[in-house]
Amino acid sequence: MWIDEEVGKVARTLRKARQLSPETFAQKVGETPENIEAIEAGRLRLSAELMFKYCDALHVPVRVFFEWQDDPADVTIGDPMDGEALLEAVN
């Protein structure tokens, strides 16, 4: 589903902006690196419980996962996101 891809794209962008490998991040949130990669690719849905763990580990509010919805016309699946700008916007 396309929303899983968008949420996964945000998750990947934030993880990379914090310079965390999938392995390191998986340990922080209690998941496997394979599941982290599947979530970021949109193949596995990010549960509400795990989303809160992501936010805690990344020091961001939950809303950051959905801010792209403010103007859906600006969102194209596959467009790169600027992780540093995203972190600045939520901090």
pLDDT of residue 90: 57
pLDDT of residue 49: 95
Yes or no: say if 22 and 12 are a contact pair by the CB < 8 Å rule. Answer: no
The answer, yes or no, to whether residue 76 has pLDDT greater than 70, is: no
Nearest to 25 by CA among 65, 59, 66: 59
Share of the chain above pLDDT 70, in %: 74
The answer, yes or no, to whether residue 36 has pLDDT greater than 90, is: yes
Global confidence as pTM: 0.73
| Interval 51-65: pLDDT, tens | 999 999 999 999 888
